[in-house]
Structure 1
Amino acid sequence: MHSKVQSPEAVAAAIKDGAVIAVASSGGGLLEPDDIFAAIEARFLTTGHPRDLTLVHALGFGDRGRRGANRFAHEGMVRRVIGGHWTWSKPMQDLARANKIEAYSLPGGVISLLLRESGAGRPGLITRTGLDTFVDPRRQGGKVNAAASEDIVELIEIGGETFLRYLPLKIDVALLKGTYADTLGNLSLREEPADLDTYAAALAAHNNGGLVAVQVRACVQSGSLTSREVAVPGIFVDHIVVSPQQEQTYRGGYDPALAGLLRTTALPASDEASEGVKRVLALRAAEELREGATVNFGFGASAGVAAIISERGTQSSYWTTIEQGIHGGAMLIGNLFGMAVNPLAIMAATQQFDFYHGGGLDIAFLGMAECDRHGNVNVSHLGGDFIGPGGFIDITQNARKVVFCGTFDTKGSRLAIRGGGIRVEAPGQVRKFVHDVGAVTFSGQQALERGQEVVYVTERAVFQLGANGVELIEVADGIDIRSDILERMDFAPVVRNPARMNAEYFGT
């Protein structure tokens, strides 16, 4: 048997023009085989090949600079991108905005599960997840720009019920990262912080007759990995790139506590609920927690709830999860979101999304960029840029209760927090409560049909979704309902007898 160990340059040379490439990576450098990416980029910049690639990724990856998806963000190198999250590569966003690539976005979990379904030879992914959002073909069908003209999602009926069918993918290349591979190609993720959709991507490429290349820190002798350590069997793996200096994340080095191999008392610090408006939002949102609940925390303002749990030392009262496949532990935030110190369990992202899609979440805490009169929320299309939903749609559409967290308005607002309340010194220039959201990332109508409980938490008011629309249910002391809330919204919420927000949220 010939050696599977190859240079990054050899892997790059093996990728043909027009190939469909699946990447199983996430933000912060999580499972990012950047030496392979760099070799592909260098070959393109030198020779113009490979070109016209299709890039498929469930979660965003990159550093907003040079690494990750940025390696592919060259005109002519990529023809199409089907991505769950785009924010880590502004150059790729720029190509999409200029219609120089065909830009699509689907829910992150849908892409992970679609890779698995495609590899298994099934007719795509059939699910309710995404109905009435921007990925529904009755809206945008996941198309992000004018260059994206091909339909990749269709509406179907089964037993009188409406579903979405995400069409199967033909993956030519899977680019993966692990800690070790043995000489037979067996891949271990033992010291990595997550598994993501590594197996699903390998399955999709291998069963389509494609190429699977893995980047690892070391290649070891066959038989030296225990069976339970192997995440992808060697039969799937064609090429092994050994990168002795590779790092676990952009933070550098390898931390065994992120892989669950060592428990530590050195937990990550968080300023997501330290003071000011962030603390008000986190404290009020945390009131929606219920002991014993299985919960998910999203990126951004909602991560403050996790900080409050840590501050109170009540981690054992809830079962926490994030979409990258992590259960329990102390979450990292910011650019390293998607990992945890001392995780209780690390599952494949496909398994996590199966859990979410099936209704396993009791409560989800997510951010909120826009909310409209129907209770719809937009977090994916902001200020002319496409951000993408990541796991947002998979999570919010299937949790029993959803708590959206965000400031009431933005850009230039000045707020004074004192005396058990809050005063608006200057309103924000950008309204978040609009007549119609720019794009539907969460469907209020679907929530009502599914019987979900939906709460919208801001620093000055709390709203709830009901049969008659969005209702104002709480107001902070110091806030004038008419001038500070109603006149700052593009629609009129239901107002009956709103309660006062707890003064303790405001530092008294």
Structure 2
Amino acid sequence: MDRQTHPLLSRRPFTEKGKIVSAREAIDLIRDGDAVATGGFVGIGFAEHLAVALEARFLETGHPRDLTLMYAAGQGDGKSRGLNHLGHEGLVAKVIGGHWGLVPALQRLAIEGRIQAWNLPQGVISHLFRDIAAGKPGTLTRVGLGTFVDPRLGGGKINDITTEERVRLLPIDGEEYLFYPALPLQAALLRGTTADTLGNVSMEREALVLEALAIATAVRNSGGLVIVQVERLAERGTLHPKDVHIPGILVDCVVVCDEPEHHWQTFRTPYNPAYSGEIKAPMATPEALPLSARKIIARRAAFELAPNSVVNLGIGMPEGVGAVASEERVLELVTLTTEPGVIGGLPAGGLDFGAALNTQAIIDQPAQFDFYDGGGLDVAFLGMAQVDGVGNVNVSKFGPRLAGAGGFINISQNARRVVFMGTFTVTSEALEIVDGQLRLPEGGHPKFVAEVEHRTFSGELAAADGKPVLYVTERCVFALTPQGIALTEIAPGVDLERDILAQMAFTPLMPEPPRPMDERIFREQPMGLREDLLTLPLAQRFHFDAAEDIFFINFENLKIASHADIDAIRDTVERHLTPLGRRVYAIVNYDHFRIDEALLDAYTAMVSDLERRFYHQVTRYTTSSFMRKKLGHALEARAVPPHIYESAEEAREHLKDPD
């Protein structure tokens, strides 16, 4: 990789205080043809003041020209800010970007074929910055296989004039990998909060730290120019060394932003200390979502949450999962994350997306994608715009509209479970719910198509890996199988033929009749999700200790609400103990156990039958005196010795007592 030093930096390192320059003085150092890397996520961490100065210089002088631009996350507001300042023909010649939906000015140049353009996974680009910094030949990963980034499916190229291969297939020991080659970078436009006169930069008021260090190191080691925009200056030696995120040895120019609107914390919020972790803000309970298609989808998706899981919520429809989780009081049971480096807290939405209130940690973006790519996410909730019969998903390109993949490919490919969320069709008409039954609008543009236009997620690859994948809509739910997607659930009031099959370009698998979606999803009142999540699955409530010959049954917090619940207990005990061919001892935990009065007789009949067939003796315990009396009387009525104690120790002590 070429590391020719920028000719204007021959006197590096600059003398103390010589690094403090105006935006125009710094931008004048960028030459025609330079490769420029920018940091930012939407508006967080983006050097708006420098971008405005770069645009002004080009419009005034026609230089610098033919830049190569490289960025990981989308950096813009969907209108005129962020990288939209660089959307002038002649200013950029090549763009390598992770997300394009927020930069319509650049998007237009790419779609019209006026620049060479690539869309690569956001996490790959963040890692590529780090690998360029380390002098490596590029980034080797499985991320992107089977998607439009795979060279067999387009190599991430956006238009026909883009011919250079930026992705190569590289098999190793029989396994397929993708190789993303490194390229030298001549300039970096970065942002921080405070810089001292040596160029050390801290980020105490920033909502994210992103890949600033990786970019600065990559450009410095490529012989390039590192420019950092800050809010304020400090004397040398006054920044705590652990607060410095970009060391001064990497920084060539420090630009103090004298226009506050060019240094907002996000493109929506000038400054919120809770976003930067400087304070813990009181967590106001957000208003409950109205009962709509969005809430129905978010509610069904929320059933896929599990206590202690690490979760990623995508932008848009998946944000509703956070609102439902808050309403159902389960937010504290999971850890929400976002790809730029937020762990914990409540992620923000809209132009604040990427920030979060009251986070546990804010790490750099390459490290977050290390965690994601390595399988650290338990479940990811992501949007879907097109789905085909083999389970492929498109969220990146639709005709002339280029959204880009962002972190979607990294996340969907490597999360342990994925839940895609979206309305069944594209329609502007709202559905109605009458007595818990859906009333759907007619028509709508199909989203379940014969073949996706752009493959952002590979159903075949996920199925081959055995990844659990759901596709959740307001009217039905699909699951990925090795043979394609199968229709598994259907909403109340929905007609299978008219409302589902007739609106699809393919026929889904239906190995079994679709079961009804949970009726609680379609009611105004909360669903009781917290209780569901804190209830241990039945299969995990039984354990046989062969050494002690004791069968342990944990019914703590269990609620018996139907005859099916009773049958499930009987079946589970039979599966565990029938193969033994002999009787065992049993201890049952009935703490916080609940049972409907109408089911008590059927339950104790089942208990009596199991005790007769499988147990030498059973002891039970609960701290509830009411439950000891209630259950004890019911068992005695069945001629079953109750043996109900107040503690586990007492139950164990009396288990093999012949009296």
TM-score interval, normalised by the smaller of the two chains: over 0.9
CA contact (8 A) 2:390 2:483 kept: no
Gaps of 5+ in 2: 1-14, 525-659
1:220 matched residue in structure 2: 234
1:260 pairs, out of 272, 277, 283, with 277
Q: Which residue does the alignment assign to 2:461?
A: 446
Q: 2:245 aligns with which of 223, 226, 231?
A: 231
Paired with 2:377 and 2:366, the residues of 1 have a C-alpha distance of 15
Equivalent residue for 2:314?
298
| Equivalent AA in structure 2 for residue 101 of structure 1 | I
> Which residue of the partner structure matches residue 195 of structure 1?
209
Contact kept? 2:275, 2:357, Cα under 8 Å:
yes
1:133-172, aligned counterparts within 5 Å? 133-172=147-186
Return the match for 1:356 from 368, 372, 389. Answer: 372
2:24 to 2, 6, 9: 9
Deviation, structure 1 residue 383: 3.9
- Listed as ranges, the matches of 1:488-507 within 5 Å are 488-495=503-510, 496-507=512-523
Determine the structure 1 residue equivalent to 2:327. 311
Distance 1:91 1:269, change over 3 A: farther
Give, as a single letter, the amino acid of the residue that structure 2 aligns with 1:38.
Answer: V
Greater percentage in strand: 1
Aligned counterpart in structure 1 of residue 486 of structure 2, from 471, 475, 485: 471
Which residue number corresponds to residue 561 of structure 2?
none
Is the CA contact 1:115–1:169 (under 8 Å) kept in the aligned structure 2? no
d(CA) in 2 for partners of 1:63 and 1:354? 27
Q: Whole-Å Cα distance in 1 between the matches of residues 247 and 186 of structure 2?
A: 18
- Count of aligned pairs: 505
Greater shift in the superposed pair: 103-112 or 60-69: 60-69
Instruction: Sort the Cα spacing of 1:409 and 1:286 in 2 relative to 1 into closer, same or farther, 3 A.
Output: same
User: Is the 8 Å Cα contact of residues 460 and 482 (structure 2) preserved in structure 1?
Assistant: no
The answer to whether structure 1 residue 422 and structure 2 residue 441 are counterparts is no
Pairwise CA distance, 1:62: 1.2
Selected match of 2:354 from 338, 351, 374: 338
Q: Distance in 1 between matches of 2:176 and 2:57?
A: 46
On the 8 A contact 1:412/1:427 being kept in 2, the answer is: no
Do the aligned residues in 2 keep the contact of 1:267 with 1:341 (CA within 8 Å)?
A: no
1:86 equivalent in alignment to 2:100:
yes
Correspondence for 1:109: 123
Q: Are the equivalent residues in 1 in contact too, given 2:70–2:97 (CA < 8 A)?
A: yes
Q: Distance in 1 between matches of 2:194 and 2:285?
A: 27
2:113 is aligned with 1:99: yes
User: What CA distance in whole angstroms lies between the structure 1 residues aligned with 2:201 and 2:182?
Assistant: 25
| Counterpart code for 1:190 | E
In structure 1, C-alpha distance between the alignment counterparts of 2:137 and 2:464, rounded to whole Å: 27
Bigger radius of gyration among the two: 2
Q: Deviations over 1:69-111 (max 9, x none)?
A: 1110001111011111111121211111110011110010010
- Percent identity (aligned): 45
What is aligned with 2:49?
35
Q: Give the Cα separation in 2 of the matches to 1:191 and 1:414.
A: 41
Task: Measure the CA separation in 2 of the matches of 1:261 and 1:396.
Answer: 32
Provide the C-alpha distance between the structure 2 equivalents of 1:252 and 1:401, rounded to a whole number of angstroms: 33
CA deviation profile, 1:14-37 (whole Å, cap 9, x unmatched): 00001111111111x201111111
Show CA shifts across 1:188-247 (max 9, x none). 111110111111111110000000000000011111110110111110000000014232
What CA distance in whole angstroms lies between the structure 2 residues aligned with 1:102 and 1:268? 47
3-state SS, counterpart of residue 474 of structure 1: strand
TM-score (normalizing by structure 2): 0.75
Q: Which residue number corresponds to residue 486 of structure 1?
A: 501
TM superposition shift of 1:270: 6.7
Q: Does 1:176 align with 2:198?
A: no
Alignment of 1:45-64 (within 5 A): 45-64=59-78
Distance 1:89 1:122 in 2: 30
In the alignment, which residue of structure 1 is the partner of 2:139? 125
- 3-state SS in 2 of match to 1:463: strand
SS at the partner of 1:181? strand
Q: CA deviation at 1:66?
A: 2.1
Give the aligned partner of residue 620 of structure 2. Answer: none
Q: Equivalent residue of 1:174, what SS?
A: strand
Q: Separation in 2 of the partners of 1:127 and 1:182? A: 38
Cα pair 1:268 1:331 within 8 Å, conserved: no
- Residue type of the alignment partner of 2:81: R
Give the letter for the 1:315 counterpart.
L
384, 390, 396: which one aligns with 2:412? 396
Secondary structure, aligned partner of 2:36: strand
SS in 1 for 2:153: coil
RMSD over aligned Cα atoms: 1.3
Q: Which structure carries more relative contact order (alpha carbon 8 Å, separation 6+)?
A: 1
Structure 2: which amino acid aligns with 1:475? I
**1: distance between equivalents of 2:246 and 2:466?**
39
Deviation at 1:413, TM superposition (A): 4.4
Q: CA deviation at 1:414?
A: 4.3
Q: What's the offset of the Cα at 1:502?
A: 1.4
Query: Quick check: 1:268–1:341 contact (8 Å CA) kept in 2?
Result: no
Letter in 2 for 1:253: P
Structure 2 Cα separation of the partners of residues 52 and 502 of structure 1: 56
Question: 1:125 corresponds to which letter in structure 2?
Answer: T
